A and B are shown apart, each in its own frame.
Chain A
Amino acid sequence: RKEVEQDPGPFNVPEGATVAFNCTYSNSASQSFFWYRQDCRKEPKLLMSVYSSGNEDGRFTAQLNRASQYISLLIRDSKLSDSATYLCVVSLTGGGNKLTFGTGTQLKVEL
């Protein structure tokens, strides 16, 4: 079983749609959670951290359910520029930035 599991997609959605990505992690000791974004043939970049209470950054909302070991990312009003691969990432406390990445979910936003 992979440590971090994601649906690889692709998710093809029209511009303006709302899309949700889900992720599960296997190590219950995981303490820090993130979403990274990776554009085609580019390096990953931090999109947002995920907090237990849930958090929002503009059109992006992240949720964490520790009991179910489940993380989600919601994108509202999708833009063409949101097309990318979204990587679910976890880290152990004291991991010192040693991150475990999921395989990523590919999003394609279309006109």
Chain B
Amino acid sequence: ETGVTQSPTHLIKTRGQQVTLRCSSQSGHNTVSWYQQALGQGPQFIFQYYREEENGRGNFPPRFSGLQFPNYSSELNVNALELDDSALYLCASSSRGQGADTGELFFGEGSRLTVL
């Protein structure tokens, strides 16, 4: 186990609704990244948080937003859900300042979102 926990594990929403996904990073890690993985695709980078600020964003619209808390845990919020938002949302933690580009991200098991 990576020590990264995500909740909820599964959820079903309808178009137009809003969703909040939560992530607790591995102990000692100060950086949290969120990825979206659609069925049959690789994970796609949504954004990263470091020291409670967004530190880079992928090609996702503003209705995808996030937060990082002082304890390094994080939330991903998606507003105005669309059918194409159905995917596995993966949270990954890492530690900047300690071989920041080692490439090793520690992923949680993900939150599987279905939008009807």
Interface residues, chain A, with chain B CB atoms under 8 Å away: 4, 8, 31-34, 42-46, 49, 87, 89, 91, 93-104
Can you list 18 contacts pairing A with B, beta carbon distance less than 8 Å? A43-B2, A43-B107, A46-B103, A87-B42, A94-B101, A96-B48, A96-B50, A96-B96, A96-B100, A96-B101, A97-B31, A97-B100, A97-B104, A97-B105, A98-B33, A98-B48, A99-B103, A99-B105
B35 to chain A: closest CB distance in Å? 8
Instruction: Evaluate contact between B33 and A97: CB separation under 8 angstroms.
Output: yes
Chain A residues near B68: list those with CB within 8 A: none
A49-B102 in contact given A96-B96, A101-B44, A103-B40 (Cβ < 8 Å): yes
Q: How far is the CA of A46 from the CA of B94 in the complex (A)?
A: 12
Interface residues, chain B, with chain A CB atoms under 8 Å away: 2, 31, 33, 35, 40-45, 48, 50, 55-56, 58, 90, 92, 94, 96, 100-105, 107-110
Nearest to A33 among chain B residues (CB) is: B103
Nearest to A4 among chain B residues (CB) is: B42
Instruction: Evaluate contact between A89 and B103: CB separation under 8 angstroms.
Output: yes
Chain B residues near A104: list those with CB within 8 A: 41-42
Chain A residues near B102: list those with CB within 8 A: 49, 97
Q: How far is the CA of A44 from the CA of B31 in the complex (A)?
A: 17
Instruction: Evaluate contact between B42 and A101: CB separation under 8 angstroms.
Output: yes
Q: How far is the CA of A55 from the CA of B82 in the complex (A)?
A: 43
